[in-house]
Structure 1
């Protein structure tokens, strides 16, 4: 390819991210051409309604109604899938890869659901799939795992992967305000979607965690096989209790691997994080990821995890890599072998066929996922209740480390907060089930994990 030949790019989708990519490519056209050795040209943009009035003025000749037209156009070697969803985006991605193209995507749900098929298609037809923008927005975590830290094995990765939840939890803590009030404000400010369930229920972070688990361990873990819990039941009182104990509360994604047993666990849930942990002080819409490698030790990545500019930055970074690949024929991004976790094997915790690194990896059973726990219950304020609860916990080998009791709004009730010594997920599930059935317990108990990482 000659140095003066423009490289055509197709944008499939022109929402927030697509507009950001257009804006920054247009603003930095000359500088990017100088850096990359070739000018970039957006040759086509797929939109749902070409007649719709937009804040960004586009030449009408660029607009297409059918993104598959862009995916299969012979003169467009780089296709940016920025539509979202997992139906049309899936078809467009596969069509482009079957044509031997490079696909750049910010779609973590697509990767989580169809990752194995996407990479297999890329390998078969000589295409490439870049996805830096799918996790943590502008933080280059995917490049870090695939390139900068390639010499490492990763016993531990954890962090904040959802800016909406981090904003809500930060505001609840700082303003002593209830969840519903902050959620309403977050929607008004555009930090939360009209249907917030994907974010606050932990599923968005789970999709991202699935991508990181594959990058680190070569295993596709569907969210249905993870521990996934959201932030909806966290209250201002929990922040006060956590502060008394020396903790903050964050929604964390946690990926751990025990290399002795070769077991991986993937979890997403609100957690009590010690105040001295750097990630405990990462607030607002920011993301933060701690990666521990067996060679490098622990590295930390903090930045904006969402928004037009942060995500566009990651997309353009992948476009730059795609240009380097087209010009030189070389690329550090490998369409690696992947080991999906088939449903029939997932229930037994066994991985599917795949790479040598992934073939022996299994999902850790609940009995071998250990930690400490924070348990809040609303109970009748009468003698013997704590003893009864402690007896049930002891039956499941769950030992109480501390007890906090505060008044409840109901004068006949009390709020009881227990922390535990080391226990396992199975024991805690069984304990919760039994405690929730007690007549002296009012409502569903709240269980949070206490996460103290070795960093």
Structure 2
């Protein structure tokens, strides 16, 4: 009996695409033996066919027309690795309309157009696989949709951006300012030339949107989230946090109250107890903690980005695509299954700010003179924000002091109102810095 040949097209041969091509070429004999098919790397779409690449690809296999790969009836599996959302959306929809399997590492695409993509796949019999879109080589998507399928998820949180984690780690270890460490990260290739997507929290927000969909069956847009970055954190914040027994991490937090059926998704710098295992995850590594109502807490740690880690996840989806095409794997991969499983009750509502509760760290640069602390305390008292501790130290600017307040439990609306009123106080010299204090189970 002849062995079936499945043809794979790669739209995009940047860092990840080259990694996929390299590892599929090297591992193809073993994969073919395990899967019972022949795998052919049929075409690769690039902007510039003459550009030097780290892998040798025959010129005859290159094209500048990515949509031609999506439309090619002889190609069974289309890997969308171009990035962005415009061309990536066209490629994905074109391939799905032809009943193909599409593999994507594009969290921004899924966040912006996930509902349309899954609807198109359902209508035309295509499949959309996206393990590489979140946390690189960590198989978190398979864990949520397959391994933990018996669970509901009250809490998912973790480090989803390796660039920010590297910067924060270096700031703490070297007692170095943000701008210096950011420059080092760019030189080492850990940060893009335009770092804003990473350091302002949007990359993590896109990934959190994907995880929220997998866990709860609804799309939460970044504008519905609290999204804050790391640019205003200073070495002094690490010293203050350490004095309080905390480290600082940029975390994505997906919380659902199943009694009120409210959901919040947020990304922000967070003070984590130094003893917490996620607080010990440093450098470019990611970590995701998943709390299930049946299994309890599970934790996933690994490289969240980079050529090999992301290529590993893409190839994992290619293997699943082969199984789908051979009818060896069921509906667990389809968007229909995710939505049906997640919606065991009515879709959750987005929680209003007053229902998102926790403790807070607030740093103020103020005039160094009598009466300032009492004026600040009067503002917090009017908003029913109770102060738990105060740390006062000299500020970098002359004639100023740094005040760090920690609060008892409060809520996002009360803190927003507090900060709005503190800005109006004449002794407050700079924009307040607000960080959340984690209260997660170990």
Same fold (TM over 0.5): yes
Contact 2:216-2:343 within 8 A present in 1 as well: no
Q: Which moved more, 1:353-362 or 1:85-94?
A: 353-362
Residue in 2 aligned with 1:335? Answer: 335
Contact 2:228-2:269 within 8 A present in 1 as well: yes
Q: Once the two structures are superposed, what CA deviation does each residue of 1:214-234 show, in whole Å capped at 9, x if it has no partner?
A: 000011000011000000000
Query: Which among 356, 370, 383 is matched to residue 369 of structure 1?
Result: 356
Distance in 2 (CA, whole Å) between partners of 1:93 and 1:427 is: 43
In the alignment, is residue 246 of structure 1 matched against residue 245 of structure 2?
yes
How far residue 446 of structure 1 moved from its aligned partner, in angstroms, is 0.3
Q: Once the two structures are superposed, what CA deviation does each residue of 1:384-423 show, in whole Å capped at 9, x if it has no partner?
A: 1111101100100000000000012234111000000000
How far residue 338 of structure 1 moved from its aligned partner, in angstroms, is 7.7
Residue in 2 aligned with 1:201? Answer: 200
Contact 2:43-2:62 within 8 A present in 1 as well: yes
Q: Once the two structures are superposed, what CA deviation does each residue of 1:59-113 show, in whole Å capped at 9, x if it has no partner?
A: 1111111111110111111000000000000000000000000000000000000
Residue in 1 aligned with 2:270? Answer: 271
Mark the CA change 1:335 to 1:3 in structure 2 (over 3 Å): closer, same or farther: farther
Distance in 2 (CA, whole Å) between partners of 1:124 and 1:355 is: 21
Q: Once the two structures are superposed, what CA deviation does each residue of 1:246-275 show, in whole Å capped at 9, x if it has no partner?
A: 000000000000000000000000000011
In the alignment, is residue 412 of structure 1 matched against residue 399 of structure 2?
yes
Distance in 2 (CA, whole Å) between partners of 1:222 and 1:24 is: 34
Match runs of 1:112-261 below 5 Å: 112-261=111-260
Residue in 2 aligned with 1:101? Answer: 100
Contact 1:21-1:312 within 8 A present in 2 as well: yes
Distance in 2 (CA, whole Å) between partners of 1:338 and 1:120 is: 13
Residue in 1 aligned with 2:48? Answer: 49
Distance in 1 (CA, whole Å) between partners of 2:48 and 2:406 is: 55
Q: Once the two structures are superposed, what CA deviation does each residue of 1:157-208 show, in whole Å capped at 9, x if it has no partner?
A: 0000000000000000000000000000000000000000000000000000
Match runs of 1:18-33 below 5 Å: 18-33=17-32
Distance in 1 (CA, whole Å) between partners of 2:89 and 2:430 is: 42
In the alignment, is residue 391 of structure 1 matched against residue 391 of structure 2?
no
Q: Once the two structures are superposed, what CA deviation does each residue of 1:13-57 show, in whole Å capped at 9, x if it has no partner?
A: 000000000000011111111111112111111111223333322
| Consecutive unaligned residues in structure 1, runs of 5 or more | 340-352
| RMSD between aligned residues | 1.5
Aligned length: 441
Residue aligned with 2:333, SS: coil
In the alignment, is residue 86 of structure 1 matched against residue 73 of structure 2?
no
How far residue 137 of structure 1 moved from its aligned partner, in angstroms, is 0.1
Contact 1:79-1:103 within 8 A present in 2 as well: yes
In the alignment, is residue 422 of structure 1 matched against residue 421 of structure 2?
no
Distance in 2 (CA, whole Å) between partners of 1:354 and 1:111 is: 19
Q: Which moved more, 1:269-278 or 1:42-51?
A: 42-51
Q: Which moved more, 1:64-73 or 1:11-20?
A: 64-73
How far residue 359 of structure 1 moved from its aligned partner, in angstroms, is 4.0
Distance in 1 (CA, whole Å) between partners of 2:390 and 2:109 is: 44
Contact 1:166-1:284 within 8 A present in 2 as well: yes
Q: Structure 2-normalised TM-score? A: 0.98
Distance in 1 (CA, whole Å) between partners of 2:273 and 2:341 is: 38
Contact 1:43-1:76 within 8 A present in 2 as well: yes
Mark the CA change 1:394 to 1:206 in structure 2 (over 3 Å): closer, same or farther: same
Residue aligned with 2:360, SS: strand
Residue in 2 aligned with 1:454? Answer: 441
How far residue 3 of structure 1 moved from its aligned partner, in angstroms, is 6.0
Contact 1:218-1:358 within 8 A present in 2 as well: no
In the alignment, is residue 379 of structure 1 matched against residue 379 of structure 2?
no
Residue aligned with 1:442, SS: coil
Residue aligned with 2:53, SS: coil
Contact 2:364-2:431 within 8 A present in 1 as well: yes
Match runs of 1:298-337 below 5 Å: 298-328=297-327, 330-331=329-330, 332-336=332-336
Distance in 1 (CA, whole Å) between partners of 2:21 and 2:121 is: 26
| Consecutive unaligned residues in structure 2, runs of 5 or more | none
Residue in 1 aligned with 2:422? Answer: 435
Contact 2:44-2:62 within 8 A present in 1 as well: yes
In the alignment, is residue 291 of structure 1 matched against residue 290 of structure 2?
yes
Query: Which among 389, 414, 421 is matched to residue 402 of structure 1?
Result: 389
